[in-house]
Structure 1
Amino acid sequence: MALHRLRSTLHRPDAVQETAGRYALHPDLLISSDTFALEQAIRAAGKAPAPAEQTARLRAALSASASGEYLPHLQGDWVAAARAAHRAAIVEAELQLSALHCASHACALAVQTLSRAAQADPLMAESHHQRLMACLAMTRDRYAAVEHYRRYRQFLANEVGDTPMPETVELAERIKRGEKPCLSGQPDFMD
């Protein structure tokens, strides 16, 4: 009954296909999804010849993507997987954009994009949290950077049962001492 309703709603008798007992959406439907369009835009931005064009394409991709929770009115395992894929694509675009901002020393913009990425995925690579701490120290002050470090440390302890890496702790201590470590151009802090 659910398959019939889905096929009727999508006006496609082939909307859901069964192969060896597994159901999947028709590839044309997947291609028309927001996540697919976002991933295509991210790939296209990566192929752009100039950083300014890459930045413009990533911004356009992010502004065209769904804001808020993806498919908020639906529940189920497949929806959770779709949400995770969409969130990962958004985080990837934000991280690429932040790297472009860092490379051009647009620190305030790097803070914005890194903050959005960290909010969407607090478990993003720790190197990105390190960059955010450094950018906060550069654009705001050491207190904002240390506050991010403390929230991140608390998140790791409460949600993961782990602690930050020694490099992150050392970076926090440097920032507490008043250093303003710009990490752009230092590949050991990048993925």
Structure 2
Amino acid sequence: MSDVHTPEQRSRNMAAVRGRDTKPELELRRALHGLGFRYRLNVRTLPGTPDLVLPARNALLFVHGCFWHGHDCPLFVLPRARRDFWLDKIGRNQLRDRQHHDRLHDAGWRIGTVWECAMRGRSSPGVTATAATVERFLRSADCREMYFRDNGAHAGAGHPLSLAERFGSAQVSGSDEGNLDRGAV
């Protein structure tokens, strides 16, 4: 299937995709602020530039879009056009995410990843419920890593399946499958 847009139109569309201040991120920030949390935004000195950093709680949050980070949920649909390009692109995003998480863990940070599907979609618990679950994570000192998705929160190994596993690709170039997949939730 060929693209319905010209390369110039497609380039403009892709350039308009926001990397910060996305709707799910703004909704979560508003809810957490209402619960009394104060945070720093997009701290560039930390690996992966976390969306919210709560230094007093030694915690940080990433708000991931399900498409761009290859989440195994109904919101992720691999495009039919340029399939190899998208497998490679999203596979590299997943690998980079895992590397950033590893470096942040080594530095002693507690990491929460809030997936877009936790706040939108048919099976979503919604912003309020997700914020309440994130609040429990932030207030607990013993939880090291938490993933918030459409069917609730899960501790530990919550990175999505690698694209190679999900779509049967022999190789997602630029990725190291051993580091790409830490288990599915």
Q: TM-score range by the shorter chain?
A: 0.3 to 0.5
Q: Which has the higher contact order (CA 8 A, sep 6+)?
A: 2
Q: TM-score, normalised by structure 1?
A: 0.34
Q: TM-score, normalised by structure 2?
A: 0.35
